Amino acid sequence: MRAEAPPVVLTLAGSDPSGGAGIQADILTLASLGCHPLSVITALTVQDSAGVHDLMVIDADWVNDQARLLMEDMPVAAFKVGLIGSVENVAVIAQLAADYPDIPLILDPVLASGGGDAFADEDLIGAMRDILLPHVTVLTPNSIEARRLGSNDPDEEDDLTLDESASRLLSLGAEYVLLTGTHENTTEVINTLYSTDGTARAQHWERLPGSYHGSGCTLASALAAILACGSPMLEAVDDAQEYTYQTLLNAYRPGMGQHIPDRMFWARETEENEQAP
Ligand code: PXL
Model confidence at 36, pLDDT cuts 50, 70, 90, reads: very high
To test ligand 1's pocket by mutation, which of 12, 16, 56 has the most ligand atoms within 8 angstroms of CB?
A: 16
Q: What is the pTM of this model?
A: 0.96
Q: How many percent of the chain have pLDDT more than 90?
A: 90
Return the sign of the alpha-carbon dihedral for residues 91, 244, 189, 52: negative
Q: How confident is the model at residue 271 (pLDDT cuts 50, 70, 90)?
A: low
Domains located in the chain, CATH noted:
8-275 (3.40.1190.20)
pLDDT in tens, 18-28: 999 999 999 99
Cβ of 22 closer than 6 Å to ligand 1, yes or no, is yes
pLDDT at 35 over 90: yes
Judge if the beta carbon of residue 37 lies within 6 A of ligand 1.
no
- pLDDT confidence bin for 272, thresholds 50/70/90: low
Tell me which residue of 181, 258, 270, 273 sits closest to 25, measured CA to CA.
258
pLDDT tens-digit map of 56-80: 999 999 999 999 999 999 999 999 9
Looking at residues 120-142, what average pLDDT do you find? 97
| pLDDT value of position 263 | 98
**Does 175 contact ligand 1 (Cβ within 6 A)?**
no
| pLDDT score at 219 | 98
Q: What is the mean pLDDT of residues 97-113?
A: 97
- Span 118-123, average pLDDT: 95
pLDDT at position 97, please?
98
**Confidence at 2, pLDDT banded by 50, 70, 90:** confident
Q: Which residues contact 260 (CB under 8 A, 6 or more apart)?
A: 18, 19, 20, 49, 212, 213, 214, 251, 252, 253, 254
Ligand 1 neighbour 260 (Cβ under 6 A): no
According to the model, what pLDDT value does residue 113 have? 86
Quote the pLDDT of residue 197: 94
Examine the pLDDT at 273 and tell me if it is beyond 70. Answer: no
Which atom of ligand 1 is nearest to 213's Cα? 1
pLDDT tens digit string along 205-247? 999 998 899 999 999 999 999 999 999 999 999 999 999 999 9
Q: What is the pLDDT at residue 165? A: 97
Mean pLDDT of the chain: 95
Kindly state if the Cβ of 217 falls inside 6 Å of ligand 1.
yes
Phi, psi values for residue 203, rounded to 5°: -125, 140
Measured from the CB, is residue 21 less than 6 Å from ligand 1?
A: yes
Q: How confident is the model at residue 154 (pLDDT cuts 50, 70, 90)?
A: confident
